[in-house]
C-alpha cells in the first residue's frame, strides 16, 4: 500500500507516515516516486505506537451531568 493508503488506515496525515518511515518507525521500500508499506507493517505500527493511552483520541463526554460547554465573552473596560 502507498503512504496515502497507510495514512488513511492509521488515521494519520501522509506527511506523518513519511516522517515515521524516515525515522525508521515504519518499514517501507521505495517504489518509483512513493514508498510502499506492507499491511503487516501498518498493523505492527498501530499495535506498537497507536495503542498507547496518550495517543488515543478521547470521545466527548456525554451524560446528564455534562452538558455542552458555553463560550463566555467578557467585556473589557
- pLDDT at site 49: 79
pLDDT of 39 reads 92
CA 68 from chain center: how many Å? 26
Return the DSSP state at 25: S
The answer to whether the predicted template modeling score (pTM) of the entire model surpasses 0.75 is no
Beta partners for 36? 2, 29
Task: Give mean pLDDT in consecutive 10-residue pieces for the chain, a chain of 77 residues.
Answer: 93 93 93 90 86 50 51 54
- Euclidean distance between CA atoms 5 and 24, whole angstroms: 18
In whole angstroms, give the CA distance from residue 55 to residue 8.
Answer: 16
CA 48 to each of CA 6, 31, 58: distance values in angstroms, whole numbers, following the listed order: 15, 25, 19
The grid coordinates of residue 73 equal 465573552
What's the pLDDT score for residue 57? 47
Amino acid at each position: 500500500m502507498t503512504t496515502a493508503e497507510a495514512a488513511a488506515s492509521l488515521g494519520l496525515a501522509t506527511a506523518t507516515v513519511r516522517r515515521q518511515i524516515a525515522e525508521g518507525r515504519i518499514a517501507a521500500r521505495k517504489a518509483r516516486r512513493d514508498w510502499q508499506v506492507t499491511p503487516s507493517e501498518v498493523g505492527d505500527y498501530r499495535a506498537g505506537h497507536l495503542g498507547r493511552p496518550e495517543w488515543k483520541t478521547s470521545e466527548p463526554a456525554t451524560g446528564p451531568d455534562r452538558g455542552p460547554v458555553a463560550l463566555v465573552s467578557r467585556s473589557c473596560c
